[in-house]
Structure 1
């Protein structure tokens, strides 16, 4: 994948947020609302943002690159990475789910799964190949211990 043409995962997340607001504004469909939806959506949003910060901090602490396909020097397996091989992508999906629940447009609930499919196809497959090439058996053992998502 050409470096110039690569749209990084946070940009895809922003596209997802925009899509949620477009769906909310222009596509009729069942709606849900109320204090419980607002609370649940806000909790998912804040939880996802917290996970992003924590997972990014683990990369910084390990002194390795966070940008896909660049500057990978260390296999990060601590913290959130003990439970998911992709906590940053999972966190972005939680942010999108939180926004969708908060706005209350049920059709917008399709955005997080679409985001995950895009990320899996555009990033995760290639990242896994790169990590296996770089870290070999250490990475394969990590994959046996830790699931891709949860």
Structure 2
């Protein structure tokens, strides 16, 4: 993706905006294009556990940001490098939480089309947000962030 287009797409919204749009499109597409049923009850019910885990992880991350008095926005400079809680297992637990909610929703619906939106979200985040955020964290926190990056995987 060209740098100018990447900047424009990032400026329009943050990862949360893309998440909400894709979640809505996922649900709407399930009803408009109910093609290829992949999962049926009771398997689809497991999607509620996945959604719950995603919501819990997002909530836990938010609490850590607030406790450490650092920004939640990917466009502002963080005051603290958080490496505890969900950040011990993933450098991007907020995006992981959003992907879990999208995936859990797709499981609940059980049709093929909603799963595409989970994949699309991951691609968008990988291309538009994570590289930008990681460069910024490396500039701000230097060796501390590089060491953290070596110890903790990007997603899980």
* Short-chain TM bin: over 0.9
| Aligned mates of 1:60, 1:28 — CA distance in 2 | 41
Aligned residue among 59, 63, 78 for 2:69: 63
Moved more, 96-105 or 137-146: 96-105
Taking only aligned residues, the RMSD between alpha carbons, in angstroms, comes to 1.7
Structure 2: stretches of 5+ with no match in the other structure: 1-6
Kindly tell me the number of residue pairs found equivalent between the two proteins: 149
Residue aligning to 1:132: 138
- 1:28: Cα distance to partner? 4.2
Contact 1:52–1:91 under 8 Å retained in 2: yes
TM-score by length of 2: 0.89
The reply on whether 1:111 has 2:112 as its aligned counterpart is: no
| Aligned mates of 2:32, 2:140 — CA distance in 1 | 46
Q: Deviations over 1:68-87 (max 9, x none)?
A: 02041111111110100000
| Aligned mates of 1:5, 1:46 — CA distance in 2 | 30
Contact 1:48–1:94 under 8 Å retained in 2: yes
Residue aligning to 2:3: none
Residue aligning to 1:9: 15
| Aligned mates of 1:91, 1:46 — CA distance in 2 | 9
Residue aligning to 2:108: 102
| Aligned mates of 1:6, 1:62 — CA distance in 2 | 27
Q: Deviations over 1:107-129 (max 9, x none)?
A: 21111111011011111100000
| Aligned mates of 2:92, 2:31 — CA distance in 1 | 31
TM-score by length of 1: 0.92
| Aligned mates of 1:24, 1:105 — CA distance in 2 | 7
Q: Deviations over 1:10-65 (max 9, x none)?
A: 1111111112123212224211321221x211111111001100011111111110
